[in-house]
Amino acid sequence: MRIFDPHIHMTSRTTDDYEAMYAAGVRAVVEPAFWLGQPRTSPASFLDYFDALLGWEPFRAAQYGIAHHCTIALNPKEANDPRCVPVLDELPRYLVKDHVVAVGEIGYDSMTPAEDTALATQLQLAADHGLPALVHTPHRDKLAGLRRTLDVVRESALPVEHVLIDHLNETTVKEAKDGGCWLGFSVYPDTKMDEERMVAVLEEYGPEKVLVNSAADWGKSDPLKTRKVADALLKAGFTEDDVDRVLWRNPVAFYGLSGRLDLDVAGTDATHEGNSILRGVPKTATPEA
Amino acid sequence: MWELRIAEAGRRCGPEHAEAARVLLLHTAGADAPALARVYRQGTADERRAVLEALPHLVDGPEALPIVEDALRTNDTRLVAAAVGPYAARHLDAHNWRHAVLKCLFTGVPVDSVADLPRRARADAELARMLDDYAAERRAADRPVPHDLYRVLDLTGHPATPTGTGAPDSVTDPTAPDGKES
Ligand SMILES: [Zn+2]
């Protein structure tokens, strides 16, 4: 089984996680830029983070046989801090880079005017750079947040078919689907979806344009949720092809809209057969911690 | 505008040609030390590698050394391997050069990546001492000593101190450093 986790914050995870993910079938991940739990206080702090998403983290992932791409953005929570907002001016030089496959996570947190501006600005940046957008929906006041998000997307230069709306659930899936977006579901303990509810949503709405992710990060979360959903789907009678569609082909199709998805990196799994990603470096090379 | 082309080289030329394209762009642009430093600072690991590859052909003096030193501080073996090229061989001072060699051994970067190794290692008693101590530490921990270590030690002209076996351990896997440096 091949699995693509389209939303996971590997920066917060350990090498044990990478190992377990590979064993479970994960061969590709996308890491959206988000907040770190501890608020940032300057654009420079974002730049170091973006550089890590394009440097150290893909290197770590490749050592475990996993292709790593990222999405870059000012997240909605920190869009409210005037000390952070100037990072928007730095985004264009990141959005041209090879392993950036979307603008994200953008969207709403508390639905403030500052968030309106950041969302609209970054949807425009996505359109300008030929990138799709990963738009997260808020935890509080979710349905109202989704509606406002869809309005802003419709007013933007970015076609709705280039937008993935994430953290959907039973109350928001229908409107997002009717809106023509890609549909993301985070299977995350306690606060988002779980495996059984995910199966039920897929039974009701079908696998078309549906992506399932673990959204694993520094919170109580589980990087193997994608595999657990796959197993639950098979058990519920979905076919191998349905599972492959949701957990591999749909994320490949969505992020492939960027024209920058390079999944061969997964074939260059450094820990398994010495290869081009390490370019001549022996197969057992281990980074220092 | 050429700096933008460097960033998007993978998408335009395909990942397998990206590095060659980036190096070519740097040559064509005649990038000087400040330009290389800027591209490096704003670059991904792949872009940084291209800067390190192009460096020895574009800068004569030592003014671009901070780029090499930065790459040697990383834990990314792709960058470490690119950093020990001809530019480092020409300009890196003895202390930092020895640490770069040791870092290669620690992280499993083949010492074949180290440019001009025989010349710089020759008669370097301090390097020999460092290698010897590292070998002793590995043996004390019951860990294999990388064969590359003995190759470099040979080049110094200082034979290995006969602590422990004093000869390459019979390791089936030639590259088993655990690279734990900190
Ligand atoms: Zn997230």
pLDDT of residue B132: 95
Residues of B in contact with A278 (CB under 8 A): 77-78
* Pairing assessment for the beta strands A163-166 and A182-186 based on DSSP bridges: parallel
Question: Does the beta-carbon distance from A277 to B78 stay under 8 Å?
Answer: yes
Judge whether residue A287 has pLDDT over 80.
no
Q: A40 with A84: CB under 8 angstroms?
A: yes
Chain centroid offset of residue A8 CA: 6
Which residue from A255, A216, A247, A217 is spatially nearest to A229, judged by alpha carbons?
A247
Confirm whether B104 is domain-assigned: no
Residues 40-59 (B) with a CB less than 8 A from some CB of A? 42, 44-46, 48
**Does residue B36 form part of some domain?**
yes
- Chain A residues with CB within 8 Å of chain B CB: 51, 54-56, 58-59, 93, 96-99, 259-260, 262, 264-265, 276-289
| A53 → chain B, closest CA residue | B44
Nearest to A284 among B74, B76, B175 (CB): B175
B91 in a domain, yes or no?
yes
Would you give the end-to-end CA distance of chain B in angstroms?
A: 40
pLDDT per position in chain B (182 positions), as tens?
Answer: 888 899 999 888 888 899 999 999 999 999 999 999 999 999 999 999 999 999 999 999 999 999 999 999 998 999 999 999 999 999 999 999 999 999 999 999 999 999 999 999 999 999 999 999 999 999 999 999 999 999 999 999 987 765 544 444 444 344 444 444 44
- Is residue A204 packed enough to be buried (19+ CB in 10 Å), middle (13-18) or exposed (0-12)? exposed
| Residue spans per domain, chain A | 3-276
Has the ipTM of the complex gone over 0.85? no
B84 and B48: one domain?
Answer: yes
B76 near A CB under 8 A: yes
Residue A98 CA to residue A130 CA, distance in Å, equals 12
Residue A167, pLDDT score: 95
In angstroms, what separates the C-alpha of B87 from chain A's closest C-alpha?
19
Please report whether residue B175 resides in a domain. yes
Q: Are residues B25 and B90 in the same domain?
A: yes
pLDDT score for B161: 67
Give the pLDDT score at B159: 75
Q: What is the pLDDT of residues A86-112, one digit of tens each?
A: 999 999 999 999 999 999 999 999 999
Mean pLDDT score across all residues of chain A? 91
Using a CB-CB cut-off of 8 Å, the residues of chain A touching B181 are 288
Q: Min CA distance, A5 vs chain B (Å)?
A: 22
Contact A55 B45 (CB under 8 A): yes
- Inter-chain residue contact B175 with A282, CB threshold 8 Å: yes
What is the nearest CA distance from B174 to chain A, expressed in angstroms?
9
Ranges of H-type helices in chain B: 2-7, 9-13, 18-29, 33-41, 45-58, 65-73, 77-83, 86-91, 94-107, 117-121, 125-140, 147-156
* Residue A239: CB atoms within 10 Å: 11
Element (H, E) at A204: helix A195-205
Q: Is B173 part of the contact surface with chain A (CB cutoff 8 Å)?
A: yes
Specify the CATH number for A3-276; select among 3.40.1350.10, 3.40.640.10, 3.20.20.140, 3.90.260.10.
3.20.20.140
Nearest C-alpha neighbor of B73 from the set B92, B111, B49, B100: B100
State whether B70 and B14 are in the same domain: yes
Six-digit token string for A281 = 């470096």
Q: Do B76 and A287 touch (CB under 8 A)?
A: yes
Residue B110 covered by a domain: no
A-chain residues near B180 (CB < 8 A): 286, 288-289
Q: Are residues B8 and B88 in the same domain?
A: yes
Per the structure, the count of domains in chain B is 2
Range of the domain at B148: 122-182
B21 and B74 inside one domain: yes
**Is the pTM value of this prediction over 0.90?**
no
Determine the residue among B77, B104, B147, B171 to mutate to test chain A binding: the one whose Cβ has the most chain A Cβ atoms within 10 Å. Answer: B77
With respect to residue B59, please indicate whether it lies within any of the assigned structural domains.
yes
The average pLDDT across A183-199 equals 93
Cα distance from N-terminal residue to C-terminal residue, chain A: 31
In a domain, B107, yes or no: no
Residues B150, B66 share a domain: no
Q: Are B50 and A279 in contact (CB under 8 A)?
A: no
Q: Both B10 and B73 in a single domain?
A: yes
Among the partner-chain residues A262, A264, A282, the one whose CB lies closest to the CB of B108 is A282
Cβ–Cβ gap A59/B177 under 8 Å: no
Token code pair at residue A26: 């994960």
Of A149, A202, A96, A37, which Cα lies nearest the Cα of B7?
A96
Q: Given this model, what pLDDT does residue B150 score?
A: 96
B115 belongs to a structural domain:
no
Q: How confident is the model at residue A170 (pLDDT cuts 50, 70, 90)?
A: very high
| B6 and B92 assigned to the same domain | yes
Kindly report, residue by residue over A213-256, the tens digit of the pLDDT: 999 999 999 999 999 999 999 999 999 999 999 999 999 999 99
User: Using 50, 70 and 90 to split pLDDT, how confident is the model at A265?
Assistant: low
Task: In whole angstroms, give the CA distance from residue B57 to residue B54.
Answer: 6
pLDDT of residue A190: 82
Closest CA to B168 of B147, B140, B152: B147
Instruction: Kindly report the nearest CA distance between residue A285 and chain B, in angstroms.
Output: 5
| Residues of chain A contacting residue B7, judged by C-beta atoms under 8 Å apart | 93, 96-98
Domain co-membership, B84 together with B130? no
Is B44 close to A98, i.e. CB distance below 8 A?
A: yes
Residue B171 CA, ligand 1 centroid: distance in Å: 44
Q: For testing the chain A interface, which of B16, B23, B44 should be mutated: the one with the most A CBs within 10 Å?
A: B44
In angstroms, the CA A233 to CA A228 distance is 9
Chain B residues in contact with A260 by the CB 8 A cut-off are 10-11
Q: Is residue A26 within 8 Å of A230, Cβ to Cβ? A: no
The DSSP H or E segment spanning A134 is strand A133-136
Q: Could you tell me if B90 and B130 lie in one domain?
A: no
Report chain A residues whose CB lies below 8 A from the CB of B8. 96-98
Residues B57 and B92 in one domain: yes
Bridging pattern class, strands A26-32 and A67-72 = parallel
Percentage of chain A exceeding pLDDT 70: 91
Note the pLDDT tens digit of each residue in A29-72. 999 999 998 999 999 999 999 999 999 999 999 999 999 999 99
Q: What is the pLDDT of residue B10?
A: 87
Cis before A31? omega within 30 = no
CA of A113 to the centre of ligand 1 (A): 22
The position carrying tokens 């907040």 is A35
Looking at the partner chain, which of B8, B45, B108 has a beta carbon nearest the beta carbon of A285?
A: B108
Q: Which of B59, B79, B96 is the last residue of a domain?
A: B96
Residues B72 and B131 in one domain: no
